[in-house]
A and B are shown apart, each in its own frame.
Chain A
């Protein structure tokens, strides 16, 4: 309890510092960025420490984190000095008391609530949670940046690790160990997501409303945004329940083990033998329920933060100081920075945008698209202040600054990261079933449609929308045809197809002939959204709602584009399927379309008449999505039945593997963070295989091999070559001299001999005797022995 309190006090303080730092920069937003400052604070703090550590200016620990905090405090002092002196800040706080209280209540409730949930299900012992904990312990104890990969000693982590770093930074200051920080961090990020979505919904509503008195409704809009994005599920559970009820004799769904998992696999691709190909369709609540602190979970609030910055950019460009953007009346740099409200604003956008690459690279295209599209839309909306060509050129310059600046700022990450993406694959064989797509987005689409309907104005042309739809459909067909033709000949460079050499294009036609529904429906919605967007951009109307509607429709365009994209192409990774592309794109689409749906409902509700009926219907469509959370929570936590709730992710070891737990504590206390502690090589999803690296972050020769293969791609063979054999040579030595030689040549400091190693390598007494002779026994509790390299 005290630990959680200490933790949340720091998070709140850091958020406040971020708010004060960006007070002036986010002045276009009705909440001045207060809601998004929760995640922004932790992001800036962690990034400052990471940058400092990358350039050896700061140590990765309490001292470095404290100096980063000091730097943030300095920024806050500079950023808010004038506002405090002039009393503007005080007056804003007085006027926005309701908002501040509401967002704090939402944030703290989400944090406390998720702490409660995690305390009944704390163990990081299933799916990829051990891997997430391993990364957290590794970055927490790393003395250098990039941190060493605990499952491939001698090589840096080849994964998006900045999210773990952010949690570790909070842990450094509060003195919270990684196994506790794992669950506290997850609860904090749940709160961040709620606060960020709350702020985004609130800002859009208040901008549309334009009345300060509407704050209570704005708060309601914010809460609804948080609930729709963070709690609502897809329709898989209600549909399963209904279908089971209709089918006689079937067993009750909720009695099945891990029934809640099914909602994350609603799209089913099939291979050429009729077998199922796994496609992940997670949504935010499922990710939290599962409890993996994965990059996509950690990047969620950051993506909403980027959307908030994009809104600020959009408003700054659309409402910027008159003349500031006029060519000839301002320097190119001033015109560029004016898009973000000044040079510090541009730096902020570059830093936050650039961080996406190191938190979850999959979010980079969407994040950059949000910022760039926001800027372009704002400039076009400003109309008279410049020509369209000028706006486009300025946007190109802005995009270049964001991309190059972000890349340069996070250069140390890019230099050490290797991509697992091997190319681009045209989706010739797996069109999404329209029913499955409906199950996935059925709760959100009605709200989106409602928004497009509400935004349809007298200047919107159905014929143009139709032409646009035709254009998209034809482009899609041309893309699939042309790309299919190219890869038919083997492909080349980035364009390839893992299945095509064996399959004819006829099979592709056959599959598409029965599965065009999703493509046509989503492309139609996209075409409508594009036409509505265009009509708003070129409109001469002075409607006060126009800017907000334009930005909301822009979000809809991006969200629908993300849903459409996996129909046409996917990234070729080590799985060779579109599993990850669908997963990551749908996930981002959920965030954007969730916010759009809420705005659609609110806009329609404000129109009265038939529109209000539509709003009610769209609201009702959300309700089935709320069936899932409570029973899923009950099932995952075994009915909240734990006798001793705890937030310690490793508490299960104390109970079930006490001897190994004792050995792990010894390793943590008595070895340096970069000591190579050899364990057996591990099978994916098996924490017991690599407990040392998971619990202590100490590197071993080879951890979960399957995952290393995923992260390293084609380089895996070269990087991991000889390690399996070295492990066998260590655990089954032929002589003490040979053992000493292999230990020396692989830079091994300690050898961990536990039950898993004895079992996998069949370590005999003779082998142990050679370990005694060739190394030094440093720890022994009967179950685990740890040997140290001589010298």
Chain B
């Protein structure tokens, strides 16, 4: 009997929390938005989703083999990166761009740093930005939703944020779509990336993650709150030129970014105070890029820029140590 006893030191019990459980829950939370994107954009969306979700694990396996590391597919992180990447692509994007994106996300975004846990930037967003810069035409060609079974062929359309940017640049005034028809944005009946479309589906997923305690409220609330506040200030100053906070909230990738991308644990701060700073930074940068930047949408850039600040934020938001208040005596 003595030969078979475990002698490891305390604690001797574990919560049962596992990395793959965390990843699995995030994937579940993305299901409503994923299904809705297939509903609105049909087969093209499905194919983008499949290419990314299968492509990422394939590249992960390849990288593990090259690095002579054990296969890490079981943790589900590669599949999750794939889904998140697909959510960040237009449904009309060609298959080879999606596949190239998967390669960039896993190889450049994650594995070159040492794999899961070591990447400083969100891999899916690294891929999206690489694709956006490399293939600007394909990455900004949008199709209007053509719900499954509606018999409509894909019609080229602009995203609401894109139309606003163009209209404001040309005329200095907001187009009509920025002031009415918000119901469409809420259900997802608009042009955009797979994961930009339905506010309600993303909210549902985000609430699920909060309920399951996979994420805390700090990043989503501070991110969205800052966008609403800063966006609101501009809107109050000149409602003819700047869209309303509600428009900011329901269009583009804000909800996807706030609940699913910025909350990526590996690339966001570990302290609550740090998360609040991180979220506020994301929100501020998003509004500034949307209103004054060269791109209509700023969520990806905002999150990547804040990813870069994460180590610094962690360093300056160390929690106050128990007993530090009266430690003067002890230090002397």
**A, B bound:** no
* Interface residues in chain A, defined as those with a beta carbon under 8 Å from any beta carbon in chain B: none
